[in-house]
């Protein structure tokens, strides 16, 4: 298992994490087995948006003696009321629900306190300026949570949240189909059939800017919906018109800026093992670029997907990373210090490009690599 920094939190997280679907299925029958499989394979990060107290108690039992081996991302504002899940901003309900969650999980802290499901700007403003944010910031000061996050499907909300300086982690829906969609306060829009009715071209610029801003500000992204609820794995359901594999979906997410971990959906032990197999997959098995280039409904022509097909460069330039750093600067209309320093650490720089064109011939998306290398020299000076 490979590990990544979770933004500036100081936490080191497995690049493959786990959603909580399997914890809920079959009345929690697979909780211990899922955590055992995660532990045995070095997976140390899981999400817990589901507020069922019985589920929490079973997880607490399964974690006994190894709580510190796992990093828990659990949700504030997701509560259990009258036998069902409820999202609320009522602090009188949020506070006791959080305290009950700690008790049921048999822990005195959570690693990431995730403010649950914020897709509406009015909702974000209410949270930011109200008792919910004051409460989670107080929990952070006390050490009861180590980092503050929000979960969202809307890049406009995500950008507002990270620019506020109040959050450390963003849980966001990322996959190659959702990334094409414009912002919406209605989550249903990103997987509605009508949203994919016409030809779709390249990543939505606000989503691209969100990932760039997270990278620049040290906000770690934890990915949800990497498989689009399973739709991307089934050609008959995929908005792209073709199926992808779990390894291709995971690799796509992990090549986005600021992504720390991909929270894979796993209803069974077998599904979790299929995602974990990514760690030993070949480059060919992980390669999403060839599949993307053949999608009948979607085009990424001219847009670098950081897939690495441009390699090898005869001068040793890491073209994909140079382009990623270039795009980060373009998105922010400036050169962030962290991007400049990461670029400087590359073994070879854009100034060494001899314009041979070998990279452009191999690129599935017809990216103007030579022009990008010239732009990188203008921006970074070498």
pTM above 0.75, yes or no: yes
- Cα–Cα nearest to 373, from 60, 359, 288: 359
Say how far apart CA 144 and CA 147 lie, in whole Å.
9
- Tens-digit pLDDT profile for residues 94-138: 999 999 999 999 999 999 999 999 999 999 999 999 999 999 999
Cα torsion for 351, 356, 362, 368, to the nearest 10°?
A: 60
DSSP H helices, 205-268, are 205-217, 246-254
3-state secondary structure of 46: strand
Cβ–Cβ < 8 Å for 216, 332: yes
**Do 1 and 279 touch, CB atoms closer than 8 A?**
yes
Question: What is the set of domains in the chain, with CATH numbers?
Answer: 3-282 (3.20.20.100), 319-380 (no CATH)
Q: What is the pLDDT of residues 248-300, one digit of tens each?
A: 999 999 999 999 999 999 989 999 999 999 999 999 999 988 888 877 777 77
| Residues in the chain, pLDDT under 70 | 199
pLDDT at 93: 97
């Amino acid at each position: 298992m490979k590990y990544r920094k979770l933004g500036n939190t100081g936490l080191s997280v497995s690049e493959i994490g786990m959603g909580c679907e399997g914890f809920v299925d079959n009345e929690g029958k697979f909780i211990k087995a899922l955590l055992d499989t995660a532990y045995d394979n070095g997976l140390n990060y899981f999400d817990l948006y589901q507020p069922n107290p019985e589920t929490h108690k079973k997880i607490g039992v399964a974690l006994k003696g190894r709580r510190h081996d796992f990093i828990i991302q659990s949700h504030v504002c997701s509560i259990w009321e009258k036998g069902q899940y409820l999202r609320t901003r009522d602090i009188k309900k949020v506070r006791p629900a959080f305290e009950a969650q700690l008790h049921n999980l048999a822990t005195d802290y959570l690693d990431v306190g995730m403010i649950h499901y914020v897709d509406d700007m009015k909702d974000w403003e209410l949270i930011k300026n109200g008792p919910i944010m004051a409460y989670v910031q107080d929990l952070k000061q006390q050490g009861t949570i180590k980092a503050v996050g929000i979960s969202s499907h809307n890049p406009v909300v995500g950008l507002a949240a990270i620019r506020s300086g109040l959050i450390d982690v963003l849980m966001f829906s990322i996959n190659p189909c959702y990334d094409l969609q414009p912002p919406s306060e209605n989550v249903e829009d990103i997987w509605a059939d009508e949203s994919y009715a016409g030809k779709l071209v390249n990543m939505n610029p606000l989503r691209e800017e969100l990932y760039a801003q997270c990278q620049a500000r040290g906000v770690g992204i934890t990915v949800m919906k990497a498989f689009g609820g399973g739709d991307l794995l089934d050609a008959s359901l995929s908005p792209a018109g073709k199926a992808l594999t779990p390894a291709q979906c995971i690799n796509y997410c992990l090549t986005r800026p600021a992504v720390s971990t991909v929270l894979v959906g796993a209803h069974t032990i077998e599904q979790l093992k299929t995602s974990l197999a990514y760690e030993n997959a070949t480059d060919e098995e992980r390669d999403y670029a060839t599949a993307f280039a053949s999608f009948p409904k979607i085009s990424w022509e001219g847009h670098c997907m950081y897939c690495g097909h441009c390699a090898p460069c005869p001068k040793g330039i890491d073209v994909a990373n140079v382009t990623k750093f270039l795009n980060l600067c373009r998105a922010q209309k400036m050169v962030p210090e962290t991007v400049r320093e990461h670029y400087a650490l590359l073994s070879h720089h854009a100034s060494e490009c001899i314009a041979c064109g070998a990279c452009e011939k191999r690129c599935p998306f017809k990216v103007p690599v030579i022009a990008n290398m010239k732009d990188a020299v203008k921006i970074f000076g070498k």
